[in-house]
């Protein structure tokens, strides 16, 4: 099996504990208890700053008959927030269809529901760099929308503020965004302020 692209950017060394969890899943694949144990350990590594181990465990999931999902990738992208490896990780998650709602409406709108802060920031970077520049070349400049959710609609990730993180990202690149007057869970951007040449740099991994 070919290693994911993001594995080339990290030094991944399995610990004795991760090896033991691998053996548990291989020799006892049926009980849910071993899979739950693996996933609990994976999440604790992701949240505990052990990003290299978290990525190693994520790469092991298919071998252990554990199907990675959006929650798995959310945890990994939170763990590598701000690191270059996150860019390849997001591309992989997108290619695997982990976030089907992300571009379900139109190219001028993205939906960040079911994304953690780390995943959402990478998603907006990718969209601004690789989708929006093409929209700016059209006959009319569109109004852009970022659906972040608000209040109860974000209860799955209620310890984080995705909307705040997206605003921080926009402000860091001097992009003005506003809360939609009719929906507090939507950020609108006037496309007339944007330049394609500036946007295309936003999904370049930091050196």
Q: How much is the pLDDT for 157? A: 46
Q: In 3-state terms, the chain is what percent helix, strand and coil (to 5)?
A: 55, 10, 35
The reply to whether CATH 3.30.1370.110 applies to domain 109-199 is yes
Asked if residue 176 lies in contact with residue 190, where contact means CB atoms within 8 angstroms, the answer is yes
- Where is pLDDT greater, at 15 or 195? 195
Q: How much is the pLDDT for 142? A: 85
Reported as a single tens digit per residue, the pLDDT across 13-28 is 455 555 555 554 444 4
Asked if residue 199 lies in contact with residue 129, where contact means CB atoms within 8 angstroms, the answer is yes
Q: How much is the pLDDT for 89? A: 94
Asked if residue 70 lies in contact with residue 114, where contact means CB atoms within 8 angstroms, the answer is yes
CB atoms within 10 A of CB 9: 17
Q: How much is the pLDDT for 205? A: 81
Q: How much is the pLDDT for 24? A: 47
Reported as a single tens digit per residue, the pLDDT across 116-167 is 999 999 999 999 999 999 999 988 888 999 999 876 555 554 446 899 999 9
pLDDT > 70: what percent of the chain? 78
Q: What is the rounded average pLDDT for all residues in the chain?
A: 82
Reported as a single tens digit per residue, the pLDDT across 60-93 is 888 878 888 999 999 999 999 888 899 999 999 9
**Residue 5 predicted with pLDDT over 90:** no
Q: Which of 154, 132, 153 lies closest to 141, judged by CA?
A: 132
- Where is pLDDT greater, at 53 or 193? 193
Spell out the residues 6+ positions from residue 25 whose beta carbon is closer than 8 angstroms to its own. 34, 35, 38, 64, 65, 66
Q: What is the pTM of this model?
A: 0.81
Q: Which band of pLDDT confidence, cut at 50, 70 and 90, is reported for residue 35?
A: confident
Q: Which helix (H) or strand (E) holds 178?
A: strand 177-180
């Amino acid at each position: 099996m070919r290693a994911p692209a993001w594995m080339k950017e990290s030094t991944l060394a399995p610990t004795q504990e991760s090896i033991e969890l691998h053996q548990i899943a291989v020799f006892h694949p049926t009980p849910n208890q071993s899979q739950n144990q693996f996933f609990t350990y994976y999440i604790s590594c992701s949240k505990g700053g052990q990003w290299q181990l978290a990525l190693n465990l994520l790469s092991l999931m298919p071998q252990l008959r554990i199907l990675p999902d959006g929650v798995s990738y959310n945890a990994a992208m939170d763990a590598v927030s701000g690191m270059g490896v996150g860019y390849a990780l997001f591309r992989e998650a997108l290619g695997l269809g982990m976030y089907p709602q992300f571009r379900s409406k139109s190219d001028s709108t993205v939906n960040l529901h079911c994304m953690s802060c780390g995943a959402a920031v990478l998603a907006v970077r990718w969209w601004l760099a690789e989708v929006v520049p093409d929209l700016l070349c059209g006959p009319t400049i569109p109004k852009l929308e970022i659906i972040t959710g608000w209040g109860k609609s974000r209860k799955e990730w209620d310890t984080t503020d995705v909307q705040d993180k997206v605003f921080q990202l926009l402000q860091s690149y001097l992009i003005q965004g506003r809360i939609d007057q009719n929906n507090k869970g939507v950020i609108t951007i006037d496309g007339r302020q944007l330049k394609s040449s500036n946007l295309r740099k936003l999904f370049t991994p930091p050196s």
